[in-house]
Structures are given as structure tokens and as C-alpha cells.
């Protein structure tokens, strides 16, 4: 199956189903920049290479993506979802609970899901990351369920230095680092754990970025994330 890459058995794999083989392969290429260890499988087009979807390609893609932790399937158009649902119906009873179709846009949801899988999210977490692309990215306050807080007690403001700003790859690196800390952190008011939330800020070179947390629990995370931005993500 084109577009696959090996991964540890505890990572969720992804299958991208598109009517176009080129679109599916291109999305694998994009997502791999942010999730190099996740198994990403392109299942686009018909068996004969034409425009459409293939039951056989999807079934094979699921088998390749599921290394034991499960697989998430993302689709582009309605008929792709129907074909994917049929493929799930034909899976073994032992395998079917480990495979889910995400109700998410293919590109945004696929990128978010890939990052969630890369940082070790389970099946439910990867699906949730994909489906977060359907709604407005949460703020840090929404994500924690807290009421409107006073000014954060821990905060650092740094200048974004990398040439292309906080685009997909550095944003993914940022989220991966944030996920290593068990503390609430925000980036200009957005949850630092939300890839789509951070990318929605449209941060470009030269802009100020405020990394903040509500108390001392967040200090280590704030400092580490601010330091990462100050390095320019290795892109200078």
C-alpha cells in the first residue's frame, strides 16, 4: 500500500480515503512532516487508478494501519464514507472495535489526528483530535473548563523568529512539547495542546507570542515552550 511508514504497536494508525489517489498520497506526505513515526496509509482512487473509492484499498489500508492500537479512517466525500463503512462491516469481530471513521474534514482533521497519534494518543484521543477540526478551536479556558480567570500568574512573551511563522510543522513540534507537561498552558489565549487552535492564530515572523499558565504548575511548561519559540524551531 503506497504511503505507509512503520510505527510502534502502541500507536494508532491513519487511513486517508479520497476519491483521488493523488490527494490521499499528498495528505500522507503532509502529515508525515508532523508525524514521522505514525503509520499513514493512502487509500485513494479506484483499483484501476481512476477517480472514485475502492473497498479493497480501504480494507487493505486498515489492515496496514492497525498495528494493534487501532486505526482511524478519514474520508473526503459522502460516497467515500459509505465505502469505508462497508469495509468496516466486513472486518473481523475482533478488529472492528479498533477501527473508527472520524467525522472530520480530511485535511485539517487528518493533520490533527496525525499529531495526536504521534504523541501517543489512544484511539479515542486521535478521533477527538480529528473531529476537533469541525468546530472552533478551544481556548485554554474552554479546554480546562475553568471560569474566566484573572491574569495568568506565570507568563513569558517572546518574538516569533522562524521565517514562515507558526505553520504546520513547528506548530506540531510545539504541541508535542506541550503534551509532555501535565499543566494548563495557553498561547495567545489558545490551548497549547490544540494544533488547530494554535494554527488558527495565524502567527507570523516578528509577532509577539504570549505563553502563559494559571499558576506555578505551569512554569516549567511555559519556559520550555517559550525557549522553543526563541530557537526559531531550527528554521533560521
List pLDDT tens digits, range 138-192. Answer: 555 554 444 444 554 789 999 998 887 887 788 888 888 998 898 899 999 889 8
**C-alpha angle with apex 198: 71 to 80, nearest 5 degrees?**
35
* 220 burial type by CB count under 10 A (0-12 exposed, 13-18 middle, 19+ buried): middle
Query: Is the overall model pTM greater than 0.85, yes or no?
Result: no
**Contact predicate 34/114, CB 8 Å:** yes
Please state, for a pLDDT cut of 70, what percent of the chain lies above it: 88
The CATH superfamily assigned to 140-234 is HPr-like (3.30.1340.10)
Coil, helix or strand for 17? strand
Closest of 232, 212, 214 to residue 165, by C-alpha: 232
Distance CA(163)–CA(123), nearest Å, equals: 35
Q: What percent of the chain has pLDDT over 90?
A: 61
Q: How would you classify the pairing of strands 71-75 and 13-18?
A: parallel
Catalytic residue among 13, 17, 19, 185: 19
> Distance (Å, rounded) from C-alpha 53 to C-alpha 56?
9
What is the H or E stretch that residue 71 is in?
strand 71-75
Q: The C-alpha cell of 106 is what?
A: 480530511
Q: Which CATH class is domain 13-134?
A: alpha beta
Report angle CA 51, 53, 56 to the nearest 5 degrees.
130
Give me 52's grid cell: 472514485
Residue at grid coordinates 495557553: 186
pLDDT in tens, 40-49: 999 999 999 8
Q: Report the 10 Å Cβ neighbour count for 94.
A: 7
- Does the active-site annotation cover 167? no
Give the start-to-end residue ranges of the domains of the chain: 13-134, 140-234
Q: Distance between CA atoms of 154 and 26, rounded to whole angstroms?
A: 40
Amino acid at each position: 500500500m503506497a504511503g505507509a511508514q512503520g510505527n510502534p504497536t502502541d500507536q494508532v494508525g491513519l487511513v486517508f480515503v479520497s476519491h483521488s489517489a493523488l490527494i490521499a498520497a499528498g495528505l500522507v506526505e503532509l502529515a508525515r512532516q508532523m508525524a514521522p513515526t505514525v503509520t499513514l496509509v493512502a487509500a485513494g482512487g479506484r483499483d484501476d487508478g481512476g477517480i472514485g473509492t475502492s473497498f479493497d484499498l480501504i480494507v487493505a489500508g486498515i489492515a496496514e494501519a492497525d498495528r494493534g492500537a487501532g486505526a482511524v479512517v478519514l474520508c473526503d466525500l459522502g460516497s467515500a464514507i459509505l465505502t469505508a463503512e462497508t469495509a468496516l462491516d466486513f472486518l473481523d469481530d475482533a478488529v472492528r472495535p479498533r477501527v473508527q471513521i472520524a467525522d472530520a474534514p480530511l485535511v485539517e482533521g487528518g493533520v490533527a489526528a496525525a499529531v495526536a497519534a504521534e504523541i501517543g494518543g489512544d484511539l479515542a484521543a486521535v478521533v477527538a483530535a480529528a473531529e476537533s477540526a469541525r468546530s472552533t478551536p478551544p481556548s485554554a479556558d474552554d479546554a480546562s473548563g475553568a471560569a474566566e480567570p484573572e491574569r495568568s500568574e506565570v507568563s513569558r512573551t517572546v518574538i516569533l523568529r522562524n521565517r514562515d511563522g507558526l505553520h504546520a510543522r513547528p506548530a506540531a513540534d510545539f504541541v508535542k512539547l506541550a503534551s509532555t507537561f501535565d499543566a494548563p498552558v495557553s498561547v495567545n489565549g489558545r490551548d497549547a495542546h490544540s494544533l488547530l487552535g494554535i494554527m488558527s492564530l495565524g502567527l507570523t515572523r516578528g509577532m509577539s507570542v504570549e505563553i502563559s499558565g494559571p499558576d506555578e504548575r505551569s512554569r516549567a511548561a511555559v519556559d520550555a515552550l517559550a525557549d522553543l519559540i526563541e530557537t526559531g524551531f531550527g528554521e533560521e
